Structure 1
Amino acid sequence: MKAWLDFLPLVLFFVAYKVAGVYTAAAVLMVSVTLLYAFIWWQERRLQTSQWITLVATVVLGSLTLVMHNEAFLQWKAPAVNVLLALIFAGSAFIGEKPLIERLMGQALQLSRSKWQQLNSAWVIFFLLCAAANAYVVLYHSEWWVDFKLFGSLGMTFAFIIAQGIWLTRQGALKDSPPTH
């Protein structure tokens, strides 16, 4: 449930956009992301890498949107953040002893080295597909970018998490559970 909290600012952005337009929505997004991550920091004394990236990108690109009075900065936030996350996950396969996904989920899952690499690669592909989908919408259907930002991103994430859960279950990855094949 905690991971879905990251979508709360997006929902607030969507509502603000529909009610008051992009510039009010940009301000709502910046404030809600900052408050959410400040609350998480207060509770856990840390933020995940993806949360830091989202926070910085939201504040910087949201501010540029407001100062330059140009929504393109905010429109390109999702593709930029997704590409950056893909690069971080891909780079983690070569830097350090474990891929990033193993560092994030290793305490809950039991996988072989090759399966961790496969899972990490799946996340890289997921982030690149999200970046491409968001970029496509911004470039060719910019009138839908806010709707896609909420429903498309949420739908893609939900589908990926379900597919990942099925794959992990088949691998017997949950600690103390046997593989199903």
Structure 2
Amino acid sequence: MTTRVQEPAGASKLLIDFGPLLVFFAVNALAPVPALAKIFVATGAFMIAMVAAVIYSAIRYRSVSPLLWFSGVMVVLLGGLTLWLHDETFIKLKPTIYYLFVAALLGFGLWKDKPLLKMVLGSAYPGLDEEGWRKLTRNWALFFVVMAAVNEAVWRNSSTDFWVGFKLWGAIPLTFLFAAANVPMLLKHGLAAEEAKPQEPGPVE
């Protein structure tokens, strides 16, 4: 008998996808350390929270999504380099690498005529036809390319505090708004109105 793998949903999905990032923001804002040290303390907390999210997903749902695995590895690797070399450049590069990696995966899937996004969000958009999946995959691939460029522009031309603020008040809202903006297109391609709940493909960087 095959056991169906339960997928994170609702509060648990938000906790897994956004919890580590919110820990990063909170520690960077509230840690009682000199201003120049906050990004490093926040990075350490981010690493711990990300590992906790992976472990929680593995124990609670007996599975860890590929994007969560990748994000976790990137946080530990680049966060570790940030702390070891005392250079915040590495943690600032992490969103760019993540965005480009996901965009490349989605683009490869489109090239092979296999919308990979369907594997990630299939249960969230029941009834969506193949053309809808292709358009949604294309849209997210382009969005991630744009976000990678924006992250590069922000961290290279502004202070660390501004970059952190942009991630909280810019990147997260933009991701939710983009997910919502795709709903009208999804409705035209078979998604029932009552099932139209905007979803992001994975952890927001």
TM-score (norm. length: structure 1): 0.88
13, 29, 46: which is aligned to 2:63?
Answer: 46
The ranges of structure 1 where at least 4 consecutive aligned residues each deviate by more than 4 angstroms after the TM superposition are none
Confirm or deny that 1:123 pairs with 2:107: no
Do residues 63 (structure 1) and 63 (structure 2) align? no
- Measure the CA separation in 1 of the matches of 2:19 and 2:83: 21
1:132 aligns with 2:149: yes
Does residue 154 (structure 1) correspond to residue 165 (structure 2)? The answer is no
Percent identity between matched residues is 29
Deviation per CA, 1:101-124: give whole Å up to 9, x if none.
Answer: 122233442233332211110110
* Preserved CA contact (<8 Å) 2:131 2:189: no
Shift of 1:175: 9.2
- Whole-angstrom distance in 2 between the partners of 1:64 and 1:176: 45
Shift of 1:130: 1.5
Counterpart of 1:10, as a letter, is L
| Partner of residue 53 from structure 2, selected from 4, 28, 36 | 36
Structure 2 gaps, min length 5: 1-9, 32-37, 196-205
Is the CA contact (8 Å cut-off) linking 2:103 and 2:144 kept in structure 1?
yes
Name the TM-score, length of structure 2 as normaliser: 0.78
Structure 1 residue 34 displacement after superposition: 0.5
Alpha-carbon distance between aligned partners in 2 of 1:168 and 1:125, rounded to the nearest angstrom: 17
Aligned positions, number: 176
Task: Using CA pairs under 8 Å that are at least 6 residues apart, name the structure with larger relative contact order, 1 or 2.
Answer: 2
CA RMSD of aligned residues (A): 2.0
The answer to whether the Cα contact below 8 Å between 1:23 and 1:65 also exists between their aligned partners in 2 is: yes
Q: Which of the numbers 14, 22, 30 marks the counterpart of 1:4?
A: 14
In 1, are the aligned partners of 2:102 and 2:141 still within 8 Å (CA)? Answer: yes
Residues 176/7 of structure 1: CA separation in 2 closer, same or farther (3 Å cut) = closer
1:176, distance to aligned residue in structure 2 (A): 9.5
Question: Bigger shift: 44-53 or 168-177?
Answer: 168-177
Residue 15 of structure 1 is matched in structure 2 by 26
Q: Is the 8 A contact 1:9 1:29 kept in 2?
A: yes
Indicate the residue corresponding to 1:167 in structure 2.
185
> Unaligned 5+ residue runs, structure 1?
none
Q: Which residue of 2 aligns with 1:104?
A: 120
Change (3 A) 1:150 1:175: closer
SS of equivalent to 1:111: coil
Q: Report if the CA contact (8 A) 2:129-2:190 is conserved.
A: no
